Structure 1
Amino acid sequence: MTKSSAVDERVRSASLLTKILRRPEFGAFLGAVAIFVMFAATDTTGNFANLSGISGWTDIAAPIGIVAIAVALLMIAGEFDLSTGVLVGTTGLLIGMLVTEVGLDIWTSIVIALLFAGTVGFINGYVVVKTKLPSFIVTLATFFVLKGANMAFTKSVTGSVRVTGTDKAEGFEVAEAIFASKIGEPGFQISIVWWIAVTVIATFVLTRTRFGNWIFAVGGDANAARNAGVPVDKTKIILFVYTALSAALVGIMFVLRLKGMQAGQGVGQEFYYIIAAAVGGTLLTGGAGSAIGASLGALIMGMAYIGIPFSRWDSDWTSTFLGVILFTAVMINTYIGRKAKGGKK
């Protein structure tokens, strides 16, 4: 046997191509490029690929991406949260009522809303880790509790299903500038800046910190992680709290931007967050994924929502299109992952 043929497979270096293929967001990147090219080619307005079009689809993608990143991290750890969408509305309604019914200033209302959302996330995580019930069931129950409370409480307090007048609160202008203003031309929403910042921070935490290693370990094999000294329960609870706070951040953006909130705001969005994470290469079984991938998944959804009407397709098919994207992306990510298994990092 020659010396070259005796090289241990476990220490063999992977090629650059193999390393790229191994990235969980690689499939989402290819998908984003393909979707952009398709809609740029079929666009009948001439605006999809220019600044006004980009501001449109990034405006849709940003709030989805902010929460989808948190959902992705939670999914990497092997858990789901189906209460994120309704919590967006709950946060906005709570801020609106604290301002209009209690008379608090906007900043105090925001702090209380964040504390409330964090408490909901803590309860979700605590119940999951202590009862060992599936997070799907626990957070689905939270979803229905909040959905009913949003509608019933709002109607009992305001006499309608909407809260308005948050722009009259003290400190509103400063809060609006931070969370709901427009920047540059032709008017990009500042939520894009928040989205980019969240992506960068989450990527750093996931790839460069001990906590990021814990997340992957918990999702890969919780028992093995626990035996290795990883605080599994603590890690999951922190991620549930983070997911809830991300939903609250989007709720704050919406209530300041719209100067009010509907009781049904956010309901159904939880599936979009999961779709964005899955399209971005996050495994539904846990143990793999990335914040960048979740952002790319959100970007694809934003392009679809703007590209379909710009191409004069029937908008009723939007959900069907997203379903096809989800299935295709998962299949591509699975195929690429299997092909890239041979090399070592």
Structure 2
Amino acid sequence: MNIDDKGNLVTAASDSDERVRDISAIHALVSRPDFGAIAGLVLVLFLFAMIAGDSGMFAADGILNWATVSAQLAILAVGACLLMISGEFDLSMGSMIGFCGMVIAIPTVYWSWPIWSSLLLTLSVASLIGALIGYIVVRTKLPSFIVSLAFLFILRGLTIALSILFTNKTIVSGVNNGAEDDWLAPLFGGEFGQSIFNWLAQIGVMDTYADGEPIVTGIPMVIIWSIALACISSWVLFFTRFGNWIFATGGDPKAASNMGIPTAKVKVILFMFTAFCAAVYASCQVIEFGSAAADRGVLKEFEAIIAVVIGGTLLTGGYGSVLGALFGALIFGVVQIGLFFSGISSDWFRVFLGIMLLMAVLFNNFIRQRLTR
């Protein structure tokens, strides 16, 4: 408090500014798209630490279990997040997983292709299909929900029909035989940091089995893929011109086009990237299990969208965070594995997903109203 020339009490500007800065900091924190996902993850971790903390869930192998499950979903969620920020949806991701799995398995097992060529073929075919979906969306102006829903059935039907046509079965095994000594297979099915974990076991930091082998031998490549895709996508979204184009395309496509932004090109590229992420997911899964099945990936598209929404991305586009989608996927993995460790029936997992989706949509709607005001 100060006294002016007339003897009146006045409030110091610095005091007022401090209050404004405090309020602005809180407002900025709450307004972050990933705030809800971060808060939800902390709450879920605390809950299962209380319920299942003594069951090994937070031991090294327990952490690896729910981190792997989370990473698998995170790969899909990263692609879905960028696409949803641009204002579009892709419901064909789940079917793309099963389709890509067969594209890898059939040439490798039945046509004796080297697995590296099958993997490259899969990534290329998936990207082309994604480009086709995006092209149809931007050319016809049809809702991406409808177009991608059509491809959900097309790809699932093709997966079943082609697998029966070429193999007379819907499950193809024996991929792991072709993956041995292949130069590209470890990029999808190998482990990272094996020497580090062996060293940790030798000095007594890492628990070991009776034969001295560490409980955790390395970090699965699916986790490395999820982290790499999330980091690269976040950098593109927030630090490049293309990232600005994504936000502008989802915020107001007509205004973005008037400003010279190639909105159609942006959407086609993002549909290709979403399909690429589904192909990466399928590649990691096929190399890990050594087989492909026509029913792989069922409902994964909806799980990815839920993870993205939990992560703070608006369904209307123009606002979101890849980091939030990553945290949303982590919530999935922690809950799914946490229910097992706590002895709770897994039937409650879907109930939890529905509740989390509803809470996330309500929170995101609140944030959207605050932003539009």
Same topology, TM > 0.5: yes
What residue is the counterpart of 2:225 in the other structure? 194
The alignment status of 1:158 with 2:193, answered yes or no, reads: no
What residue is the counterpart of 2:26 in the other structure? 17
What residue is the counterpart of 1:125 in the other structure? 134
Instruction: Please list, as runs of the form range in 1=range in 2, the aligned pairs for 1:216-295 lying within 5 A after superposition.
Output: 216-295=247-326
Instruction: Check the 8 A contact 1:65/1:298 in 2, yes or no.
Output: yes
**Structure 2 residue ranges without an equivalent (≥5):** 1-9, 14-19, 198-214
Q: How many residues align?
A: 335
Q: Distance in 2 between matches of 1:338 and 1:220?
A: 14
Q: Distance in 2 between matches of 1:174 and 1:258?
A: 18
**Structure 1 residue ranges without an equivalent (≥5):** 6-11
The structure, 1 or 2, with the larger RCO (C-alpha pairs under 8 Å, 6+ apart) is: 1
What residue is the counterpart of 2:35 in the other structure? 26
Instruction: Check the 8 A contact 1:105/1:171 in 2, yes or no.
Output: no
Report the alpha carbon displacement of residue 108 of structure 1 after superposing the two structures with TM.
0.9
What residue is the counterpart of 2:234 in the other structure? 203
Q: Which amino acid aligns with 1:282?
A: T
The alignment status of 1:62 with 2:71, answered yes or no, reads: yes
SS in 1 for 2:335: helix
Instruction: Check the 8 A contact 2:179/2:185 in 1, yes or no.
Output: no
Instruction: Check the 8 A contact 1:107/1:171 in 2, yes or no.
Output: no
SS in 1 for 2:292: strand
Instruction: Check the 8 A contact 2:335/2:349 in 1, yes or no.
Output: yes
Q: Distance in 2 between matches of 1:214 and 1:142?
A: 26
Residue 306 (structure 1) aligned to one of 333, 337, 346: 337
Q: Distance in 1 between matches of 2:328 and 2:127?
A: 25
Q: Distance in 2 between matches of 1:287 and 1:172?
A: 45
Q: Distance in 2 between matches of 1:216 and 1:93?
A: 35
Q: Distance in 2 between matches of 1:291 and 1:126?
A: 24
1:50-90 deviation per Cα after TM superposition (whole angstroms, max 9, x unaligned): 22221111110101101101101100000000001111111
What residue is the counterpart of 1:140 in the other structure? 149
Q: Which amino acid aligns with 2:188?
A: F
Report the alpha carbon displacement of residue 199 of structure 1 after superposing the two structures with TM.
0.9
Please give the root-mean-square deviation of Cα atoms over the aligned residues, in Å.
2.2
Q: Distance in 2 between matches of 1:108 and 1:51?
A: 35
1:5-40 deviation per Cα after TM superposition (whole angstroms, max 9, x unaligned): 9xxxxxx97722222222100110000000111111
The alignment status of 1:178 with 2:218, answered yes or no, reads: no
Q: Distance in 2 between matches of 1:341 and 1:172?
A: 56
Report the alpha carbon displacement of residue 337 of structure 1 after superposing the two structures with TM.
5.5
What residue is the counterpart of 1:116 in the other structure? 125
1:311-339 deviation per Cα after TM superposition (whole angstroms, max 9, x unaligned): 11111111111111111122234335656
1:263-302 deviation per Cα after TM superposition (whole angstroms, max 9, x unaligned): 1111211101100100000101111101000000000000
Q: Is the alpha carbon distance of 1:130 and 1:168 closer, same or farther for their aligned partners in structure 2, counting shifts above 3 Å?
A: same
Instruction: Check the 8 A contact 2:126/2:276 in 1, yes or no.
Output: yes
Q: Distance in 2 between matches of 1:143 and 1:337?
A: 30
SS in 1 for 2:119: helix
1:129-164 deviation per Cα after TM superposition (whole angstroms, max 9, x unaligned): 000011011011111011111112111211211111
1:188-238 deviation per Cα after TM superposition (whole angstroms, max 9, x unaligned): 322111111111111100000000000000000000000011100000000
Q: Which amino acid aligns with 1:243?
A: T
Q: Distance in 2 between matches of 1:220 and 1:335?
A: 17
Instruction: Check the 8 A contact 1:32/1:299 in 2, yes or no.
Output: yes
SS in 2 for 1:49: coil
What percentage of aligned pairs have identical amino acids? Answer: 40
Q: Is the alpha carbon distance of 1:263 and 1:42 closer, same or farther for their aligned partners in structure 2, counting shifts above 3 Å?
A: same
What residue is the counterpart of 2:358 in the other structure? 327
Q: Distance in 1 between matches of 2:283 and 2:294?
A: 14
Instruction: Check the 8 A contact 1:67/1:247 in 2, yes or no.
Output: yes
The alignment status of 1:52 with 2:64, answered yes or no, reads: no
Instruction: Check the 8 A contact 1:28/1:297 in 2, yes or no.
Output: yes
What residue is the counterpart of 2:101 in the other structure? 92
Q: Is the alpha carbon distance of 1:218 and 1:252 closer, same or farther for their aligned partners in structure 2, counting shifts above 3 Å?
A: same
SS in 2 for 1:174: coil
Q: Distance in 2 between matches of 1:27 and 1:170?
A: 41
Q: Distance in 2 between matches of 1:88 and 1:61?
A: 16
What residue is the counterpart of 2:81 in the other structure? 72
Q: Distance in 2 between matches of 1:236 and 1:300?
A: 28
Q: Distance in 1 between matches of 2:104 and 2:118?
A: 5
Q: Distance in 2 between matches of 1:22 and 1:319?
A: 28
Q: Distance in 2 between matches of 1:107 and 1:28?
A: 37
**Larger of the two Rg values belongs to structure:** 2
